[in-house]
Amino acid sequence: MKKLTFYHQVRADGGKRTGIESDDETLLHHFAPGGKDHDPALLWYVDFRCEGERLPDTPDGARDWFVRNEGYFVSQLREVASDDLSVGFDAELMPLERHLADAPDGARVNVVVSAARRLPARDIAPRLRELADHWGELLSELCTLSPV
Amino acid sequence: MSRRLLDTSVLIAHWRKCAGDAPAAPRPDDARRWAKELIKTYGTDVVATPVVVEFLAGVRKRDELMLARAYLENLRTIDGGNVSAEDWAAARRYAERVPQDGKPRQLGDCLIRAIADRLGYDAYSLDKRFQK
């Protein structure tokens, strides 16, 4: 069973990191730096964790898969924002995790959202909507990681 | 795994939850299973050396130490124990950021931030003081 994860995480300094991983290997990545007062402390993150036999495992294949299924992921982000996050959740107990039905290509998809204590979880809802609004743009910015 | 580094507060909160739900005398295999759950829950197995040390420093009993070591076995210490002069300099810069509430900064937090930043990770913490 292949695993494919899309993640997007936002830092206290405003930096935003987005990536796609396949079976724990980073396929694509983009980091948009925040303010000049560097601070890697995370405010919140969201993961789409996908499992399935027919998932791509190459950088271009993975990007294409998330682009092709934009409608599905965008609508799921909006749904989580309006249903699950409208009342907030206690990130200290556990991240919010939801199984998403009717995923493309027979995949099993879970969405996971978490927030650091400083950010009230209900404040994540508008940020998820913003992510949904810029889904395609974010995917187009992703690059392969250059070797260190 | 996402480029996310877990702070000590995340390990401690998860450990306490697992220990609270555990049978009377958990064994090292239980602790290893807890660590796998932690990794699955947070989508990362990455910690830094100061996290390992802080976590071990919180152990109160000898038998708990065995469990704590087993818990840490499956976590990846991303700096490999190599805390550089560059990390200390960055940690100092974090320490010198005096927050509006005037509360003191913690050595571990400053160092964890420095290591995370150098290696291109973001640090996830449940500790309010971690974010200034």
Contact list, B131 vs chain A (CB under 8 Å): 12, 39, 41, 43, 116, 118
| Backbone torsions φ then ψ of B45, nearest 5 degrees | -115, 15
Closest CA to B128 of B4, B3, B9: B9
Q: Which of A51, A89, A114 to mutate to test the interface with B (most CBs of B within 10 A)?
A: A114
B37 at the A interface (CB within 8 A)? no
What lies within 8 Å, CB to CB, of B87 at 6+ separation is: B79, B111, B114, B115, B118
What lies within 8 Å, CB to CB, of B103 at 6+ separation is: B129
Partners of A114 in the β-ladder: A45
Mean pLDDT calculated for residue range B70-76: 96
- Are A121 and A88 in contact by the 8 Å Cβ rule? The answer is yes
Does pLDDT of A27 surpass 90?
A: yes
B99-110 residue pLDDT tens: 888 889 899 999
Mean pLDDT calculated for residue range A64-75: 97
Per-residue pLDDT band at B23 (split at 50, 70, 90): confident
Contact list, B123 vs chain A (CB under 8 Å): 40-42
What pLDDT was estimated at residue A135?
A: 97
Mean pLDDT calculated for residue range B102-128: 92
What pLDDT was estimated at residue B73?
A: 97
Handedness of CA A120, A126, A128, A130 (dihedral sign): negative
Partners of A112 in the β-ladder: A47, A97
Look at A116 and B42 and tell me if their CB atoms are within 8 Å. Answer: no
- Are A113 and A95 in contact by the 8 Å Cβ rule? The answer is yes
Look at A31 and B120 and tell me if their CB atoms are within 8 Å. Answer: yes
What pLDDT was estimated at residue A138?
A: 95
Does pLDDT of B115 surpass 60?
A: yes
Handedness of CA B13, A115, B95, B86 (dihedral sign): positive
Does pLDDT of A121 surpass 70?
A: no
Predicted complex ipTM: 0.88
